[in-house]
Structure 1
Amino acid sequence: MSNFEIGVILPGVGAGIDLREAARHAEDAGLDGVWHGDHLGAPTLDVTVALATAAAATSRVRVGTSVFIPAIRPLAWAAKQVATLQYVSGGRLVLGVGSGGGPGQWAAAGVPYGERGSRTDTALELFPRLLAGERAEVEGSPVEVAPAVPMPPVWVGNASTAAIRRAARLGDGWFPSLISPGQLAEGTKRLTELAAEHGRPAPVVAIGATGALGTGVPSRAEIASGIAGTYGRSVEEVMDIPLTGHPQEAAEKLAAYREAGARHAVVGISGGDWPKQVELLAKVRAILHETH
C-alpha cells in the first residue's frame, strides 16, 4: 500500500460530467479511490448505484462511501446493498459509515432521530456476520444475505467523541472531515488508547478534505466561507482547512495531516474544471510520495 492515498469525491449530477468517465479519469490519473456521499433529500445519486457504476468503469481504485448512513434503512436491506456493492466491485469497497444528516432526513426515512446512534452500532455489529453469509437476527427476524462477500473495511465518519468511540470499538478506520492537523492528532491519540482498551489494533486514519487547486478557482476565503455557512462554524476556525494554491502547497498541508496520523485523504472538489482538478490532485499525490 502506498504511504499516503488520495481519493476524490465523484462529481455531482449538476456538473455535466459522465460518472463513468469521471471514475476512469481519476483512475487513469493515478488517484487511489473514487467516493460518493449518501443523502436522502439532496439532489444526488443513490450512493450504491453511483459507486456500482464507478466500479464497473474502473479496475484498480477503491470505491468508497463518504459516508453511508445504514441506520436510515432497514438494517437487513442496508447489509444487502453493502454486500452487493462489495461483490460487483470485486472487493474494492471502503465503507465509510456515519449517522448524520438533519432530523428531516431521518423523518423522511421513518426512523426516529434519537435512535440514529444505537441503530448505527447495531448495523456495524451485524454487518460482519451478514456479509459472511451467516444467519443473524435483525429486528426480531432471522436474515441471511447472499452472496457472501469479504467484509469491507469500515471507516467511521465524523470527528465527534461518539464517532471516535465507535471507530475504536467497531471500525477499521476513523474518517473525520474538515478538521485541523492538531485536532486530528488529538483524536488519533484518543482513538489509539480506546482501541487498546478494547484489545484492538489502532484503526487507520483518513481525512475528508475540500479545495480547489491552481488558478481561476474559488479562493481559500470563499471556500472557507462556504464551509462555515454549511456547518455553522466560524470562518476563522476553518480558514486553513481548504486545499488551495499550487500542488506543492496542497502537498505540504496534507503532509501535516500525515504527520498527525492520517494515511488517506478523500478530497471534494470545490470548483474549477473537475478533470483538471483531478490531475492536479495526482500531482499532489506524487509530491507526497517523493517527500515521504
Structure 2
Amino acid sequence: MKVGVILPSLTIQRRDSLDLAAAARHAEDAGLDSVWHGDHLAVGMPTVDCTIALAVAATATARIRIGASVFIPAIRPLVWAAKQVASLQLVSGNRLLLGVGSGGGAAQWAAAGVAFRERGPRTDTALRLLPGLLAGESVTMPDGSAVTLSPGVEVPPLWVGNASTLAIDRAARLGDGWFPSLITPTALAQGRERLNAVAAAAGRPVPTVTIGATGALGDAPGTPSRTELAAGLAGAYRHTARDAEELPVTGGPDEAAARLAEYAAHGANHVVIGLSGPDWRAQVDLLAEVRRRLPGPGDE
C-alpha cells in the first residue's frame, strides 16, 4: 500500500516555519510515496492555488508523486484546465496523480461564474476530453471547434473523487481510479463491489482504489485524540457518530498500520492522509513508520 500526505495548510506552514518546498522535500526524504494539495477557490480560509502549490512541490523534489486532492476542472474553461494539468505533468517529470472532483460548495461555483447545476455534466465532459487534450491530440470541443495543445504529455492517472454512487459510476465509466475520502472500510467494500460491476458492464478495466483519510499520530502533547477528530468529522461532514469514530487514523505506527491494513484488505492500494498533530514534520516521520509496516505498494 502506498502512502501520501496532504501538504500543510498556510496556517500550519506559519505555525511550523515550514514552506511548501521544504514540506515536500521532507515527505520525500521520509520515504512517503506522494504529496497532495486541494483545489479551493472561495472557501473562506487562506489557501494557495492547487496548481501553483503542486508546481512548487514538483520542482523541490525528484522522486515523490504529486497529487491533486481533488482538482475541479469543471469550474475552469476546459482547455485552460488541460493546459494547467499538462504543465504540471511536464514540470514534474510525469509524476502527477490527478484526482478529479465536481465538489465544493455552491459559493465556489458562483465565484467561478459557473452554474452549480452544471457541475456533473461539465465534469463528465472533462473526463472524456482531458486525455486527448493532454496527449496533444486534435480534440473536438462541445461547441464543435477543434483544439490541439502543445506540448503533449503522458496522460496522468485520472482518479475520480467522492464516495457517492454517482462518483463510483463516473469512476468506473470514465476514470482510471476511484478516490473516496473519509469512508469506512465497510463502505469501501460496498463501493468497490459496485465499481467492479459498473466497470465490467462498460467493458472497462476495474479502476484502482485510493482513499483519503485524516489522522493524528503518536502521543506528543497537543496531539488530537480520536474522539476529538471524530467530533470534528461528525460536525463538518455529517457523518454519524459511529462512522465518524471509525474514520480517524490515530495511535502509534503499529496501531495506525493495522487500521490502514483494513482498507488494503478491501482493495485500496494508496492512502492520502491529512495530518492534524502539533508538529507536521514529526507527524510525517511517524507516517513513514506506518508506511514501512504496511503490505507492499500497489499499482497506480
Question: Does TM-score exceed 0.5, indicating one fold?
Answer: yes
Determine the structure 1 residue equivalent to 2:91.
88
Paired AA for residue 100 in structure 2: V
Task: Give 1:62's aligned residue.
Answer: 65
Query: How far does residue 233 in structure 1 lie from its aligned partner after superposition?
Result: 2.4
Aligned residues of 2:184 and 2:243 also touching (Cα < 8 A) = no
Tell me which residue corresponds to 2:5: 8
The C-alpha deviation readout for 1:83-107, integer Å capped at 9, x for no partner, is 1101110000000000001111111
State which of 255, 280, 287 in structure 2 corresponds to 1:281. Answer: 287
Q: Does 1:232 align with 2:238?
A: yes
**Corresponding residue number in structure 2 for 1:27:** 28
What displacement does 1:139 show? 4.0
- TM-score with structure 1 length normalisation? 0.96
Q: Whole-Å Cα distance in 2 between the matches of residues 142 and 201 of structure 1?
A: 29
Q: Which runs of 5+ in 1 are unaligned?
A: none
Give secondary structure in 1 for the equivalent of 2:156.
Answer: coil
2-structure distance, mates of 1:62, 1:229: 32
Q: Find out whether 1:214 has 2:218 as its counterpart.
A: yes
- Does the residue aligned with 1:7 lie in a helix, a strand or coil? strand
Offset of 1:272 from its aligned partner?
1.8
Q: Is 1:270 the counterpart of 2:276 in the alignment? A: yes
Distance 2:237 2:197 in 1: 29
Partner of 1:202: 206
Q: Which residue of 2 aligns with 1:109?
A: 112
Give TM-score scaled by structure 2 length: 0.94
Aligned-partner Cα distance in 1 for 2:292–2:42: 37
Which deviations, in whole Å up to 9, do the C-alpha atoms of 1:8-54 show, x marking residues without a partner?
00001111221100000000000000000001013211000100100
Identify the residue that residue 164 of structure 2 maps to in structure 1: 160
Q: How does 1:112-191 map to 2 (within 5 A)?
A: 112-140=115-143, 141-191=145-195
Is the partner of 1:147 in helix, strand or coil?
Answer: coil
Identical aligned pairs, as a percentage?
62
**3-state SS in 1 of match to 2:140:** strand
Amino acid at match of 1:70: P
- The residue matched to 1:239 in structure 2 has which SS? helix
Q: 2:82 aligns with which of 79, 82, 85?
A: 79
Unpaired segments ≥5 residues, structure 2: none
Q: Number of residue pairs matched?
A: 289
Q: SS at 1:201's partner residue?
A: coil
Whole-angstrom distance in 2 between the partners of 1:289 and 1:22: 25
Answer whether contact 1:76 1:138 (CA < 8 A) is retained.
no
Give the Cα separation in 2 of the matches to 1:6 and 1:189: 23
CA contact (8 A) 1:75 1:138 kept: no
Q: Deviations over 1:58-94 (max 9, x none)?
A: 1111100000000000111111111110111000000
Contact 1:173–1:203 (CA<8 Å) still a contact in 2? Answer: yes
User: How large is the RMSD of aligned CA atoms in angstroms?
Assistant: 1.4
Tell me how far apart the structure 2 counterparts of residues 14 and 186 of structure 1 sit (CA, whole Å). 36
Task: Return the letter of the residue paired with 2:68.
Answer: T
SS of equivalent to 2:123: helix
Give, in angstroms, the shift of residue 134 of structure 1.
Answer: 1.4
Which moves more between the two structures, 230-239 or 76-85?
230-239
2:4 match: secondary structure = strand
Q: Is contact 1:155-1:175 (8 Å) kept?
A: yes
Aligned counterparts of 2:189 and 2:239: Cα–Cα separation in 1: 20
d(CA) in 2 for partners of 1:222, 1:109 = 34
Question: Counterpart of 1:253?
Answer: 259
Name the SS of the counterpart of 1:183 in structure 2.
Answer: helix
